[in-house]
Structure 1
């Protein structure tokens, strides 16, 4: 069972106030990470025994994959060694075969003057690599395993070719639970002296869906835009329909004729710039949570209901 780790120390005073909170409060050590303790303990054992294999970290965004391997790298290498021992490539870099034959091959093929036995190549969003690039990477991994370790990070395991998967130890990072997210959010709120209401905190956790990066981005954006973080300001900042909007839409659908309901929904959608996908998702959640009257739920899902709204029209 996962348990929350101690809160990380406040960021250094010298850091810029304009630094994104995601980076400002990124965990610096494995002990700072708040979830997936079973994975962290396994990786820690690999490091302590100097038997780190090639790694494949996969799962939804914002679950600690990149933070985990960066914390590992900082534990493995001192500051003066870091740049020479670690090569990190992310989404802004080329993902074709040339990057494998160029920077990766050049980095992996050169031996180090430091005491550590291997270098570390971190490939973030590896599922964006072309199949040719992945095949070329497989050969590089095979050839330079003696002095280089590779860590592939991706959201979708199915987009990594089987030959690469078989050469790595795989770890799945699942979405964070609210019980783990809330203490870390409260830590950031305290450090930034943000004004967050109880319903605002619930909205942050709900809309982030276990994605800590998204939760921090929403928190920072809402704080900068509105000052006070409440349920309404969080939903407004992210462009999601408010609960009051969904309640109105359901009321129109249940109690007014099709033409009138359609016009009102279209007007609301246009006025507030709402996405139809978000409206339908929120209606589903609203009804699923039992906020709609039972009679209304029966009417909405009845085959004879006259309340079907064509998505193409909206």
Structure 2
């Protein structure tokens, strides 16, 4: 980078920095939306009684942030030297446990009772690697603490779970995400309309990282972040568009329902999985009879499974709408 480029970057930090890192909470007290978890973690730190920990829950809910927050509070400015972060989805084999983790755990250090090893996406570790990890946790229990992060704790073997204090991170509330979005917008001097904030919260679906990324992407598009910009950036359909598609099918108008699906998939660029997720999230908010909602959810379960197994997304979604339309005609 030239000197002129460097000066330009310094003069416009909001345009060059990644906001999810710039606004990542630095300490446990700054984490939003987990009032039932943060005080317990702080108690471990304050009493210097940190056990092995397991954080499970959806992406973007603060698991990595909590781990780094613990390291910062325990080690202060020395946290990087005493905190090893590994991503198990990239390094899934037993060699990672045998080599990198053991090397770090064995290395000498002074001034602290233990070091912290943070293993992100631990549910991606193979069974053999998890067994090796269990033995390593036992071998270095006197000077090393492990923090494991996973989406599904059921994928972690019981011997590891029993050695950890388990914390389950839930999706962040709409209130927590809205507060963070407005705080960042104010700091960046960005104008965000109320419907723009609502769209960011809807598109995020409990994922703070997704909300912040969407806000930064939308801010680049223009001076004002509004609903239209957010839905375009995030490739998300408006709830009313999804509801209209389902309503057409339930009323027996398959042609209109199929046209609405065509618009979402082809013109708007949504993936089949995105359509299913939005249908599932909004099903009980649709203005349709309860029995129709039950039928919709039943069909969604079948379609989601078939797509997961490799079936054609568009064909399965059209079959979903067709089955709803056939039942609608029979009523």
- Give the distance between the partners of 1:285 and 1:94, measured in 2 at CA: 33
Q: CA offset at residue 13 of structure 1?
A: 8.9
- Give the distance between the partners of 1:313 and 1:290, measured in 2 at CA: 19
Structure 1 residue aligned with 2:94: 97
Say how many residue pairs are matched: 292
Check whether the contact 2:243–2:286 (CA below 8 A) recurs between aligned residues.
no
- Of 184, 196, 202, 2:198 maps to 202
Structure 2 residue aligned with 1:52: 50
Q: CA offset at residue 73 of structure 1?
A: 0.4
Q: CA offset at residue 145 of structure 1?
A: 0.7
Q: How does 1:70-81 map to 2 (within 5 A)?
A: 70-79=68-77, 81=78
Structure 2 residue aligned with 1:62: 60
Q: Does 1:261 align with 2:259?
A: no
Distance of aligned partners of 1:171 and 1:301 in 2 relative to their CA distance in 1, 3 Å threshold? closer
Q: CA offset at residue 240 of structure 1?
A: 1.9
- Of 165, 186, 190, 1:190 maps to 186
- Give the distance between the partners of 2:204 and 2:295, measured in 1 at CA: 32
**Which sections of structure 1, spanning at least 5 residues, go unmatched?**
1-11, 304-308
Q: How does 1:30-41 map to 2 (within 5 A)?
A: 30-41=28-39
Q: How does 1:134-213 map to 2 (within 5 A)?
A: 134-213=130-209
Structure 1 residue aligned with 2:107: 110
Distance of aligned partners of 1:220 and 1:91 in 2 relative to their CA distance in 1, 3 Å threshold? farther
Q: CA offset at residue 125 of structure 1?
A: 1.0
Structure 2 residue aligned with 1:221: 217
Check whether the contact 2:258–2:318 (CA below 8 A) recurs between aligned residues.
no
Q: Secondary structure at the match of 2:316?
A: coil
Check whether the contact 1:111–1:147 (CA below 8 A) recurs between aligned residues.
no
Distance of aligned partners of 1:108 and 1:55 in 2 relative to their CA distance in 1, 3 Å threshold? same
Cα displacement string for residues 111-149 of structure 1 (whole angstroms, at most 9, x for unaligned residues): 31x211111111111111111111101111101111111
Distance of aligned partners of 1:53 and 1:261 in 2 relative to their CA distance in 1, 3 Å threshold? same
Distance of aligned partners of 1:279 and 1:75 in 2 relative to their CA distance in 1, 3 Å threshold? closer
- Give the distance between the partners of 2:60 and 2:96, measured in 1 at CA: 26
Root mean square deviation of aligned Cα = 3.1
Distance of aligned partners of 1:100 and 1:16 in 2 relative to their CA distance in 1, 3 Å threshold? farther
Cα displacement string for residues 246-304 of structure 1 (whole angstroms, at most 9, x for unaligned residues): 4664575477854x436634642323323344445545666632446x6xx8889999x
Q: Does 1:87 align with 2:91?
A: no
- Of 40, 43, 52, 1:42 maps to 40
- Give the distance between the partners of 1:213 and 1:238, measured in 2 at CA: 13
Cα displacement string for residues 15-44 of structure 1 (whole angstroms, at most 9, x for unaligned residues): 674222111100001111123233222221
Give the TM-score normalised by the residue count of structure 2.
0.77
Structure 1 residue aligned with 2:316: 311
